[in-house]
Amino acid sequence: MSSPISPASARHDPGPSRRELIVAGTAGLALVALPGPLRAATATPMAELIARLTEGAAPARGGIEFDIPRLVENGNSVDVAIRVESPMTADDHVRWIHVIAEKNPFPDVARFHLSPRNGRAQVSATLRFATSQKVAVVAALSRGGYVMSDTDIVVTLSACIDGG
């Protein structure tokens, strides 16, 4: 014997339609096809990255000398120098310095961990930048609190565009 179809089973939601699945799949593929720098720029704005580093605390402006060229000919090799005002004693020193470039595929470009044994809160490095963008430096102080500095750079020959 066959059982009659009840009104409750006739209202069963069959799920998304084929059209809805195709639209969602196309949107997902479009996002994956975006170049790496564009994906990074749309996913993590600078303020969010800084808030994550500082655990939500607002860093003070100043106290950092950030030497980076404003016009960069080749983003594959950019020399930067960072100096944070600090006596670098056991009670008062810089714990770490982060360099953030929001349009790079990996925005947390560099991390430097320091201690009083460093003697000076000063670092130099050669970094890669994907495109013209704002670059920020954030430093954590041992007595609590954070300081930051940022600047805009113009990159004429981009780096980091391999989609990785």
pTM of the model: 0.70
Query: In this model, does residue 121 exceed pLDDT 70?
Result: yes
The confidence score (pLDDT) of residue 39 equals 46
Stretch among 25-34, 71-80, 122-131 having the lowest mean pLDDT: 25-34
d(CA 77, CA 49): 23
Q: Confirm if 134 and 150 have CB atoms less than 8 A apart.
A: yes
The confidence score (pLDDT) of residue 103 equals 93
Phi, psi of 10 (to 5 degrees): -70, -25
The confidence score (pLDDT) of residue 40 equals 46
d(CA 152, CA 136): 9
More reliable by pLDDT, 17 or 10? 17
User: Given pLDDT bands bounded at 50, 70 and 90, which one contains residue 43?
Assistant: very low
Domain ranges of the chain: 36-157
Tens of pLDDT, residues 101-117: 999 999 999 999 999 99
The confidence score (pLDDT) of residue 143 equals 94
For domain 36-157, the CATH class is: mainly beta
